[in-house]
Amino acid sequence: MKSFIAANWKMNKTIAETREFLRDFIPSVKDVADVDIIIAPPFTSLAAAGEALMGTNVQLASQDMFWEEKGAYTGEVSPAMLLDTGCRHVIIGHSERRQYFHEDDAVINKKIRAAKKAGLGVIFCCGESLEEREADKTFDVIGREIEKGLEGVDAENLVVAYEPIWAIGTGKTASPEQAQEVHAFIRERLRKLYGSAAEDIRILYGGSVTPENVELLMACRDVNGGLVGGASLKPDSFAKLVCYKKEK
């Protein structure tokens, strides 16, 4: 299976900074053929990034979207608007959206359905908080997020990202064993939903992935890629991460 490594820039980089990053980054990964490389800049940089990425092996994603096609929804961005910028994927259900913008499973499900209907690939995020892990609720939480978030959603163009909230931006990475344990659970849940098609769904790990720890995480059976925040903000760091096989 081709691995999938996505940069989530969150609320970072102006248009000029986006162009500068891509000027350095694109040539450094141009020979990478065995990884789907994705960049998710903020909305304001999507069009500029879309232009810079045209004809390259780097694909564009959005960090969010709204589920309606158009209308009186001040501040929101539709799936068609994303497609217009060259976006091919959208991240949905990130824990920061759930935490700061109160997105619940029902909202996330609506967004996923709308994205897929429009032809966007979905990077669906799930993961437990530290309190939930310590209370032994990791599998309950992730099981619920998958069941509700993916209700009525087919497996085509679907990528799942496991992001333990306690590992996001904290420098605390899940150990390969912890990651594999949850990824195997996610794969099992996906089998229940999609049968044998579940074997082809990429399951990404996210949470303080760096060029130093990526190889051990990627060696886990059910880890098929990464969703990367902090370490994706510098072109050399993200290029090293994407080229982790060559760095050996």
Residue 12 or 157 having the CB closest to ligand PEP: 12
Residue closer to ligand PEP (CB basis): 229 or 235: 229
Q: How far is the CB of 227 from ligand PEP (least distance, A)?
A: 5
8 makes contact with ligand PEP (CB under 6 A):
yes
Minimum distance, C-beta of residue 225 to ligand PEP, in the bound complex (Å):
12
212 catalytic residue (yes or no): no
CB of 212 to ligand PEP, least distance (A): 13
100 Cβ partners below 8 Å, 6+ apart? none
**195 binding ligand PEP? (CB under 6 A):** no
Q: Per CB under 6 A, which of residues 203..232 are in contact with ligand PEP?
A: 206-209, 227-231
Which of 89, 94, 96, 132 does the annotation list as catalytic? 94
Nearer to ligand PEP, 39 or 228 (CB): 228
Closest CA to 243 of 223, 218, 207: 218
**Site membership for ligand PEP, residue 235 (CB under 6 A):** no
- Residue 35 interacting with ligand PEP (CB under 6 A): no
> Among this protein's residues, is 181 annotated catalytic?
no
Binding region for ligand PEP (CB under 6 A): 8, 163, 168-169, 206-209, 227-231
